A = this chain, B = another copy of it.
Amino acid sequence: MKKAIILLSGGLDSATCLVIAKEQGYKCYGLSFKYGQRHQFEIKSAKKLARHYNISDHITMNIDLRKFGGSALTDNIQVPKKRNENKMSKEIPITYVPARNTIFLSFALAYAEVKDSNDIFIGVNALDYSGYPDCRPLFINSFEKMANLGTKTGINDSSIKIHTPLINMKKSEIIQKGIALGLDFKMTHSCYDPYENGSPCGECDSCILRLAGFKQAGLNDPLEYNQ
């Protein structure tokens, strides 16, 4: 059975990635990060998903990106609220965490080598993507090339593949895909700045994109907002 490493943030996108990889017949290994983000609710969601889908192993790496700072997600900078959805992708927002996906993919690459896997899944999305440079196909393709030059696996047969099944999907399509594969989105967590009890704020970019996605899909988000 072919193996895959799934970058599992606990969000809507990575959860959909996991069910897609399972549908494609992969034996799945999850990888999550405590990177100094503002809260641990997404890690709880990732663990819930890992248990629910009975994946082969789930590693949570501790990497303290607060040592660098420089983002509203890892520093004492306020998370923007109530931004207009259409304006979001025009600029790189303050919630961008410097080189985060490069770091996450690098660890996934190490994990893949150790597990003799050539396949890494990441739920990046270039349409409703909040303007992050490290969610673009150009970046992903470039990372894949680099990965095949910098690892034992890659040198042997250039077979490392970064799978981005969501990259050209709209948020509403991702949601529909997840639902079609039986995913319960109640297990996922997307909010950048939740209330103390974990309830999503409904006003950060991530909540706005999520809510718009459900609306466009003609579905209700099972999460309870502003509680």
Contacts and interface: CB of A to CB of B under 8 A. Distances in A.
Contact of A145 (B69, B102, B142): B142
B154 A150 contact: no
Given A139-B150, A149-B133, A110 B106 contact: no
Interface string A109-129: 111011000000000000000
Nearest to A98: B113
B92 A110 contact: no
A225 B160 CA distance: 41
Given A67-B59, A106-B99, A145-B146, A152 B92 contact: yes
A19 interface: no
A38 interface: no
This chain: how many copies in the complex? 2
A134 B150 CA distance: 4
A184 interface: no
Contacts of A138: 149
A174 B109 CA distance: 30
B133 A155 contact: yes
Given A62-B62, A63-B61, A114 B150 contact: no
Contacts of A105: 106
Q: How large is the interface on A (under 10, 10 to 19, 20 to 34, 35 or more residues)?
A: 35 or more
A96 interface: yes
Interface in A80-121: 92, 96-103, 105-107, 109-111, 113-114
Contact of A68 (B111, B142, B151, B152): B111
A224 interface: no
Contact of A102 (B59, B97, B109, B136): B109
A136 B149 contact: yes
Chain A to chain B: the 8 pairs with minimum beta-carbon distance, closest first: A70-B114, A98-B113, A99-B110, A142-B146, A134-B150, A139-B150, A99-B109, A98-B110
Given A99-B147, A134-B150, A142-B142, 15 more contacts: A68-B114, A70-B113, A96-B152, A99-B110, A99-B113, A102-B147, A103-B103, A103-B106, A103-B110, A133-B154, A136-B149, A143-B150, A145-B145, A145-B146, A146-B146
